[in-house]
Amino acid sequence: MKNYKVEITNLDTSLIPVLSKEEMNDLFIRYQNGDEKAKEKLVEGNLKLVLSILKKYNNGKHNIDDLFQVGVIGLIKAIDNFDLSYNLMFSTYAVTLIMGEIRRYIRDNTPFRVSRSIKELSYDILSFKEEYIKHYGLEPSHDVIAKKLNISEYMVSYALESLTPTVSIYEPIYQDSGEPIYLLDQLSDNKESNILKDKLIELKRALTKLKDREKEVILRRYIIGETQIELAKRYNISQAQVSRIEKSAIERVKKMID
């Protein structure tokens, strides 16, 4: 796989300073006591963190200079909100905020349409994640996000997946000494695709006719991936009861789509 080097206009990456843990702590203490020059040194000393994140986006589909500027905004937010009492590496904390800014930018500038409701939901999720990280020093799980925003974990995953950059079917996925292999080469030509689509439509209709508890059990078992033991604890029932609900739901769905 080709390893892309990140090059930023008017920036000599070889001159970017690298700060030790002790230097980072000292600069944070100085900045949190009002020293703005310490903040400038923190930004300069962590630019390589932004560059390391940009490597996955340096494939010719995005203006890397723009993404760098956006990533620096995320870095500054991380510096402004970082608390030494979190007792974790600054880079661990900052990566999420930097990635969040870059994903927002890509999402808002993508040529593919994302529904307004999903776009607003993804904004809410990213906003909550930033506040949660700021307060607790770690990233919230999908379960925590779902409970806070009163949505399903499936919707959390769906909204976050909408932030993923699109990939061209002509994207090279491997190249050694010979001809490159493109994503297109790995896509199957399934002649039964229309039959599969019809089955999926029938399955979707069948799922809407299940009872609420049955529908939720199927969703959590086969979409979110929870075990029967986890579901038993969630609903305060036995594993055997969960198994019966799951089995009954599957049998009803089979009858409706056969």
Question: What structural domains does the chain harbor?
Answer: 1-110 (1.20.120.1810), 190-257 (1.10.10.10)
Contact 98, 51 (CB under 8 A): no
Per-residue DSSP letter, 181? E
**16-24 long-range contacts, CB within 8 A, separation 24+:** 16/44, 16/45, 16/47, 16/48, 16/51, 17/41, 17/44, 17/45, 18/45, 18/48, 19/45, 19/46, 24/90
- The partner residues of 174 in beta bridges, in order of sequence, read 181
At a CB cut-off of 8 Å and minimum separation 6, what does 51 contact?
Answer: 6, 8, 13, 16, 68
* Amino acid, single-letter form, for residue 257: I
The pLDDT, as a whole number, for residue 31 is 93
- For tokens 């390589």, the residue is 48
Give the integer Cα–Cα distance in Å for 115 and 50: 29
The pLDDT, as a whole number, for residue 152 is 85
The pLDDT, as a whole number, for residue 172 is 54
- For tokens 């890397």, the residue is 64
Low-confidence ranges of the chain (pLDDT < 70): 1-7, 59-60, 110-115, 163-200, 258
Contact 69, 12 (CB under 8 A): no
Specify the pairing of strand 172-174 against strand 181-182: antiparallel
Q: Which residues of 11-28 are buried (b: 16+ CB within 10 A; e: fewer)?
A: eeeeebeebeeeebeebb
Give the integer Cα–Cα distance in Å for 18 and 129: 28
Per-residue model confidence as pLDDT tens digits over 61-85: 778 888 899 999 999 999 998 888 8
pTM of the model as a whole = 0.47
Residue 252 has, within 13 A of its CA and on its CB side, a CA count of 17
Q: In terms of C-beta density within 10 A (0-12 exposed, 13-18 middle, 19 or more buried), how is residue 124 classed?
A: middle
